[in-house]
Structure 1
Amino acid sequence: MAAVERAPAMGAGTKPSSFHAVAWRWHFYAGLYVVPFLLMLALTGLVMVFFTGFQTRLGPVVTVNVAPHAPLPVSAQAQAVLELRSQAALREYIAPATPDRASWFVVMRDGVNEAVAVDPYTGSVLQLVDKDNTWFAWAEKIHGTLLLGDVGDRLIEIAAGFAIVMIVTGLYLWWPRGATRWASVLLPDLRLRGRPWWRSLHASAGFWLSAVLLAFLLTGLSWTGVWGAKFVQPWGTFPAAKWDAVPQSDLTHASLNTKGQHEVPWGLEQTSLPTSGSGAGAVGVPAGQPVNIDTVAALATRLGFTGQHHIQLPQGDTGVFTLSADTMSGDLGNPTQDRTVHVDRYTGRVLAEAAFADYPLLAKAMAVGIALHQGDLGLWNAWLNLLFCAAIVFLCLSGIVMWWKRRPSGSWRLVAPPLPRNRPLWKGGAWVMCVLALAFPLTGAVLLGVLLLDWLVVSRLPAFKAALG
């Protein structure tokens, strides 16, 4: 629960434990660091959910008039794009979700990823979008790295770990004990005024949201550069060894992402891509037919791809055609239907396939969890996520308001919760530190530093104690 405010008053005749005071102090200090990051994540999350749930990642839906004849061949639609952008390299085709939607093509031009909407019946170019500079793209980059690259990623990872500390300490502080009743936690007391009114609202909202916030933090942490990329993602990655006798590239599926954006399913990002030119695989494009965007699009239809799906073109001499439909790209509203197929660019043979049923158990859980996190499961999911993001903003702001009302008038001291005289600082703090260090190494390392700073400096120097107390 995001807060920088004191714990609730204990019931009459109940003496607060020393660990209760330590938990309150940790909750306060974690909030100093976490609250700005939670506000950022909630606000950028609001932007991202708006586009995934109510528009598209490229902006408003582009519609067309359905013609009485079949759509033009994909190559003819692509040609209209290349005539407009003669120096561009075609990278991707996105099939329309419904017959009255535009086709999209992604081209690389002078280092810029440009998405181009085309009327599939007339071949007319309808819209051009700089894919790297949409509202969604900027929100996702800020959400993941603060536009600071690896430094921003690490700062957010630390904040997410400390947010889990806030959830645990918040639940401990507000858990009913003594004369405190469950009703006072589950429902806010709107009869109160001033700081108690804010505290009651904050406690109830935080209590109800704690499990959801924990789920969001864990799915978000799965993308981070240390806990996610180094520890969790390798355990949950689809093993390319399942593709028997298929030569593998040095590139992974993550290379198919647009820079700064996640479009490949989490469980495939670290899986090696297959390579073209070996003669491996099963029959895909019929013998005697050329292997091009039209025959590969026809193969996608025969393989069961319908509605919106992606065909990424080979990049490099050994690259492959990649056919995919998944929730990460906004194609589907059901992650259990995720599917990725690779096709040899020379022979048209199907080299490899990975569907939801093939994922390891962790990858399956993450596919569902991330879809919920992003609001991909339908309008109900998008509306709930918008409500959740707004609630997190309220938790952060209410924590700040409570701290402001608690501080002495005219004072700019932090007014940190005092340490108990008989405190289990090292027992309690070391226990929390060990658990976090094992579960989240980066956060655990920072927590160790904070513990040492608090013990060696803050608790021993009067000047620091006066500034914080």
Structure 2
Amino acid sequence: MTQNTQAADSTPSHSHFYLAAWRWHFYAGIFVVPFLIILAVTGMMMMYIGLFDGRDGERITVPVPANAEVLSVSDQASAAAAQIPGSQVIEWLKGRGAESVSVFRLQGETGQTMVAVNPYTGDVVETWVRRQGWYDFADSIHSDLLLGVTGDRLLEIAAGLSIVLIVTGIYLWWPRGGGVSKVLFPDVRQKGRALWRSLHSSIGIWLSAILLLFLITGMAWTGIWGSKLMQAWNTFPAEKWNNVPLSDDTHASMNHDAASDVPWALEQTPMPASGSNQGVTGTVDGVPVNIDSISNLAAAIGFNARYRIAYPKGTTGVWTINQDTMSSDAEDPFSDRTVHVDQFTGKILASVGFADYSLAAKAMAVGIPLHMGLVGLWNLILNTIACLSVIFLCISGVVMWWIRRPKGAALRIVAPKTPEDLPHWRGAMILMLFLSLAFPLVGITLLTVLALDYLLVKRIPVLRKAIG
């Protein structure tokens, strides 16, 4: 969201503050434009691949025979394991409906494979290497740009600077005597840069709230602000496991690479451990504790539609029954639930649902599926419009910068002028730093930019000319 110099200079007494906000808006935009376009494109890729093809085989269907009788889960698991000799079944994903396949995750010598099984015949319908599809390729770019920790940090900075972009953009375009309608609705009678500016500002104002939701929920997965601050302070407390033995592993150990299979609020919570007499009544007494009895328990305690059961890992591992909207198991975040069962006694060691989360964790449990477009068709449509709007804002910002360049400027950046009235400039600086300090990497980035801008750009003629 940029303004031309003439409009800025004609702004009344607050023009210096306005120019300072515009300069921050410009600098933030330079950094975030490529990242926002990448995130918008890969976000739409994931939503529509998930809609038409699915992430974990949830879209694969089979004919339902007359007088259909479903095979036991253990028989289906045996059929899946036979497909990959020497492999071990580590998770079962129940189908959503009668026509859905059962999907099993297998651990083999060379990695993990997903096997879709016809629940009525035991025939293997399809196999694929886990997390190697187009959805997962887009997810890896969306998560860390395929750069690992470096990509994660870059995206965290970009997301924080995007919040700066939103705040400065709202300030720049807040109606000043012209009425709200001039901001909310573009003036299509304009031409050239004025039309681009009107479209950019109106779409930016409408998009600001949902983009802020995207940014906050996306940053919840980042390595600094997400895991070290927000997630760490809003993790479900293991003390509520009723003093059952705890494992050295956390729930995050159930995830695989960039993909998350457990609720955000549980990732840093220690897993309960099997091998004690703790817990409450679970499977039926006298019945072996296996995938069949655990699936019967899941049905008895209210799990329905699509859910997943993870097999125990090692001698202290537990059976885990999980239904999570974030994993496309359901469209209702309030139904999210995780239950752990002792692998020896069949007793329920821990059960946590949406109602047990902290306020921030509840917000994330709702916000993340909204971010991913998983809460119904309306959510998919809204997110598609938002992603396309983000791309337009990025392109229109670049177009306005290009048109605004002075004649003969070539590829010079041409930033808005630095205000000469330093008290106002400092006021804008303090406001932006106060906002950014909530996000450590962004604070460091802005301090660096501020130092370069004030100590170098203003004082070195060559740099001052290059920047504008």
TM-score bracket for the superposition, by shorter chain length:
over 0.9
Report matched runs for 1:136-215 at 5 Å.
136-178=135-177, 180-215=178-213
1:427 aligned partner:
427
3-state SS in 1 of match to 2:340: strand
| Contact 2:282/2:346, CA 8 A, preserved across alignment | yes
2:253 aligned partner:
255
Report matched runs for 1:45-56 at 5 Å.
45-56=43-54
1:112 aligned partner:
111
| Contact 1:326/1:332, CA 8 A, preserved across alignment | yes
| Alignment partners' CA distance in 1, 2:407 and 2:136 | 43
| Alignment partners' CA distance in 2, 1:277 and 1:301 | 24
1:357 aligned partner:
355
Deviation at 1:76, TM superposition (A): 0.8
| Alignment partners' CA distance in 1, 2:102 and 2:230 | 36
Do the aligned partners of residues 160 and 220 (structure 1) sit closer, same or farther apart at CA in structure 2, a change above 3 Å counting? same
Give 5+ residue unaligned stretches, structure 2: none
Deviation at 1:55, TM superposition (A): 4.0
| Alignment partners' CA distance in 1, 2:131 and 2:179 | 52
| Alignment partners' CA distance in 1, 2:324 and 2:281 | 24
Q: Which amino acid aligns with 2:74?
A: S
| Alignment partners' CA distance in 2, 1:232 and 1:251 | 20
| Contact 1:335/1:367, CA 8 A, preserved across alignment | yes
Q: Which amino acid aligns with 1:234?
A: A
What is the total number of aligned residue pairs between the two structures?
465
| Contact 1:300/1:323, CA 8 A, preserved across alignment | yes
For the pair 1:88 / 2:87, whether they are aligned, the reply is: yes
TM-score (norm 1): 0.96
1:418 aligned partner:
417
| Alignment partners' CA distance in 1, 2:11 and 2:463 | 33
| Alignment partners' CA distance in 1, 2:374 and 2:298 | 23
Q: Which amino acid aligns with 2:268?
A: Q
Do the aligned partners of residues 7 and 113 (structure 1) sit closer, same or farther apart at CA in structure 2, a change above 3 Å counting? farther
Deviation at 1:13, TM superposition (A): 7.8
Deviation at 1:299, TM superposition (A): 1.1
Deviation at 1:426, TM superposition (A): 2.8
Higher relative CO (Cα under 8 Å, sequence separation at least 6) belongs to 1
| Alignment partners' CA distance in 2, 1:252 and 1:186 | 47
Deviation at 1:265, TM superposition (A): 0.8
Superposed CA RMSD in Å reads 1.7
3-state SS in 2 of match to 1:311: strand
State the identity %. Answer: 49
| Contact 1:58/1:129, CA 8 A, preserved across alignment | no
Deviations 1:24-75 (A, max 9, x none): 1111110010111111111111011113444421367211111223210111
Deviation at 1:214, TM superposition (A): 0.9
| Alignment partners' CA distance in 2, 1:225 and 1:313 | 28
Q: Which amino acid aligns with 1:197?
A: L
| Contact 1:251/1:273, CA 8 A, preserved across alignment | yes
1:128 aligned partner:
127
Give 5+ residue unaligned stretches, structure 1: none
| Contact 1:52/1:376, CA 8 A, preserved across alignment | no
2:218 aligned partner:
220
2:372 aligned partner:
374
| Alignment partners' CA distance in 2, 1:467 and 1:342 | 61
Do the aligned partners of residues 124 and 6 (structure 1) sit closer, same or farther apart at CA in structure 2, a change above 3 Å counting? farther
| Alignment partners' CA distance in 2, 1:6 and 1:327 | 45
Q: Which amino acid aligns with 1:341?
A: V
Deviations 1:424-468 (A, max 9, x none): 33332133213321x111111111111111111111000001111
| Contact 1:51/1:59, CA 8 A, preserved across alignment | no
Deviations 1:296-319 (A, max 9, x none): 111111111111100000111111
Do the aligned partners of residues 13 and 393 (structure 1) sit closer, same or farther apart at CA in structure 2, a change above 3 Å counting? closer
| Contact 1:7/1:173, CA 8 A, preserved across alignment | no
Report matched runs for 1:281-360 at 5 Å.
281-360=279-358
3-state SS in 2 of match to 1:9: helix
